[in-house]
Amino acid sequence: QLLHANGREPSAEEVAEELDMPVDKVREIMRVAQEPVSLETPIGEEEDSHLGDFIPDDDAPAPADAASHTLLKETLSSVLDSLTPREEKVLRLRFGLEDGRSRTLEEVGKEFNVTRERIRQIEAKALRKLRHPSRSKKLKDFLD
């Protein structure tokens, strides 16, 4: 409030007067506030947690998002397991489900030692199977 009212940082004396505290106490608080504090500083009565435990990681996904993502991966694996091993592998490679890198029909064909047309046929058959209500209903909940 003093900063806003005066347009500058208030002095220790001004803060002490405003808070009705001794000036030396205000100076001590201001000094401590300037000192670096370790993130490993114990917090709480039992000292079983640290200051760093309470600083949010903005790069980490929200717990609900992480749980939803994990559940999606598990459900997708379960659905893909219902295909033949070859169909499953073709879809995993084509859509980058293993390493995040989608492969072309040609690349997948080389891995299986068949033509890209044969891979297209296997992929189409696998996708038809996945569209069947018994399989697709498991994944529909994730579409929103």
Whole-model pTM: value is 0.59
Q: How far apart are CA 90 and CA 75, in angstroms?
A: 18
Query: Tell me, what's the pLDDT at 118?
Result: 96
Query: Tell me, what's the pLDDT at 144?
Result: 65
Query: Tell me, what's the pLDDT at 36?
Result: 81
Q: What is the set of domains in the chain, with CATH numbers?
A: 2-54 (no CATH), 63-140 (1.10.10.10)
Q: What is the 3-state secondary structure (H, E, C) of 74-122?
A: HHHHHHHHCCCHHHHHHHHHHCCCCCCCCCCHHHHHHHHCCCHHHHHHH
| Residues of the chain predicted below pLDDT 70 | 3-4, 144
What six digits make up the tokens of 104?
């072309």
